[in-house]
Amino acid sequence: MSALETMGAPVLHLVREIRDLFAMLARTVVLSIRGRRDRRTIVEQAYQMGNRSVFFVSVTMGFIGTIMVFQAGLQALKIVPELSMLGATFAELLVRDLAASIGAMMLATRVGAGIAAEIGSMVVTEQVDAMRMCAADPIEYLVVPRFLASVLMTFCLLIWAAVVAFGAGMVTANVVFEVNYATFANFSMVDAGDVIVGLTKMLAYGAAIPIVSARCGLTTFGGSEGVGWATTNAVVQSSLAVIVLNFVISSVGFLLFPG
């Protein structure tokens, strides 16, 4: 194999993976609109993804809000003697990027791993092959319920993550820097563009995590060891998808809403 072929093979593999992911996303969206909807399975998946992630997301975002405000306050005091705009700047950062991106990274580790492990186990035990023999589409029966549940619950959880992080930051600012609660609760720097960009990221992450994770699960092979690899790949690739989407949406958002 030549050096050019050696260098190009990973690129071609990445292109094929991206093509397959977009094809799977398109098919899932079409089936979500026109296909059957098993409401019971969707509710069960929503419970698994949402209710059981609330504590994890709350604790993580609470610490993130505390650390961010503490560090920002220390840095700001080196430049200006007062912190009246600390809450306003933190709120803008939180709404436009921080809550959605960090919260989604947390969900990618828990929700993504769960989806890949569950579907991967069904693949290695030949349950997915049995579904195909019965003319049942694995994407319709396995991916669509998880996709719909993830879009809904990720959106709700990330809004909750923003509330928790802001509350933790508010308490930190009051206890450490003696910033009044009313002064910190300043949303004057948050405009419509920040809200639109933040909500768009929440929806995009909620759609990307189950698609990437389900793809890892459906391509599992090699028994229990393969399930382990699929789970690890799901976490890594879901996190990478969040970062790439963050870059794309932030860039477009900056062009459309530069303020």
pLDDT at 180 over 70: yes
Residue type, 228: G
**pLDDT band per the 50, 70, 90 thresholds, residue 5:** low
Rounded to two decimals, the pTM is 0.88
Q: Any alpha helices (H) in 35-143, and if so which ranges?
A: 39-49, 54-77, 86-93, 99-107, 113-124, 127-133, 138
pLDDT at 3 over 80: no
Residues 46-82 have pLDDT tens digits of 998 888 889 999 999 999 999 999 999 999 888 877 8
Which whole number is the average pLDDT over 208-236?
90
pLDDT at 4 over 70: no
**pLDDT band per the 50, 70, 90 thresholds, residue 248:** very high
Q: How far apart are CA 135 and CA 141, in angstroms?
A: 11
The answer to which of 4-8, 165-169, 216-220, 244-248 has the lowest mean pLDDT is: 4-8
The whole-number pLDDT of residue 15 equals: 87
The whole-number pLDDT of residue 259 equals: 62
Q: What is the DSSP letter of 228?
A: H
pLDDT at 204 over 90: yes
Q: How far apart are CA 215 and CA 28, in angstroms?
A: 11
Residues 93-126 have pLDDT tens digits of 999 988 999 999 988 888 889 999 999 999 998 8
Which whole number is the average pLDDT over 163-174?
95
The whole-number pLDDT of residue 167 equals: 95
Q: Tell me how many helices (H) and strands (E) the chain has.
A: 12, 0
Q: How many CA atoms lie within 13 A of 137 on its CB side?
A: 13
**Percent of the chain, pLDDT > 70?**
97
Phi and psi angles of residue 50, each rounded to the nearest 5 degrees, phi first:
-90, -65
- Three-state DSSP at 83 gives coil
**pLDDT band per the 50, 70, 90 thresholds, residue 224:** confident
The whole-number pLDDT of residue 12 equals: 84
Q: Do 86 and 184 contact (CB within 8 A), yes or no?
A: yes
**pLDDT band per the 50, 70, 90 thresholds, residue 195:** very high
